[in-house]
Amino acid sequence: MRDMRLATLPVAVAALFGFGVFAFLQIAEEVSEAELGQFDRWLLLAFRTPGDMADPIGPPWLEEFMIELTALGGYPLLTLIVLAVAGFLVVSERYGPALYTILSIVLGTSLSHGLKLLYDRPRPDLVEQLVSVQTPSFPSGHASMSAVVYLTLATVIIRFVDSMAVRAYVLVVALLLTLGIGVSRVYLGVHWPSDVAAGWAFGVSWACLAWLVVTGLRAWRQGPSGS
């Protein structure tokens, strides 16, 4: 049973990668053709008090919570987390996972930023933005990089544990962080919902691709000795 799960895992990850790429391209096409404008406006306004576009729904503590939550997807904090984890892996003499972590996240960050410059979509001006932003809007960097970073770190942690319960817990936490950070960007008025959806699609597909590449290289290196 365990061998069957191991054999089907790359297929499932490859399918998820393909779905992520397809979803991103579809969203990007519809954004370029302005086909998501009505949906974007409707969902963005759903997070604001009717009649007051400067006031997000919910009590004051919810706004403060969302501002703190969105910081978990910012480059400064993500950089510190990645460096801390990579440093732990290095001092533990796990050089392969450390290199995998750094390369996957640095390359994913670079590509995400490049896509922002390529599409150059303006930030929402429909509601007041509750945090300061300067970069283009599409895809959401917080959504994409939280998916890249937290899912990549989750796959690294999962490698060192055998318990399925622990693996499921780590993966669920990574997914919840990614989802929460993305929602916070819409709540704070700094992204259209389609920006966030595209960011999630990019981040998930990139994390899957990185895992597939490393898994393939590991299998190729172990092939001759195992035959």
CA 90/CA 86 separation, integer angstroms: 6
CA 187/CA 215 separation, integer angstroms: 37
Is 113 among the residues known to form the active site?
no
Nearest 5°: the CA angle 47, 174, 219 is 140
What is the separation, in whole angstroms, between the first and last Cα of the chain?
A: 22
Q: Give the per-residue SS3 of 12-32.
A: HHHHHHHHHHHHHHHHHHHHH
The H-or-E segment that residue 110 falls in is: helix 95-119
Instruction: Give the DSSP letter string of 13-80.
Output: HHHHHHHHHHHHHHHHHHHHTT-SHHHHHHHHHHTEETTEEEEESS-HHHHHHHHHHHHTTSHHHHHH
Q: Give the per-residue SS3 of 144-171.
A: HHHHHHHHHHHHHHHHCCCCHHHHHHHH
Please report where in the chains the tokens 């053709």 appear, as a residue: 33
Options 48, 121, 185, 191, the catalytic residue: 191
Options 44, 142, 177, 205, the catalytic residue: 142
Cite the active site residues: 142, 191
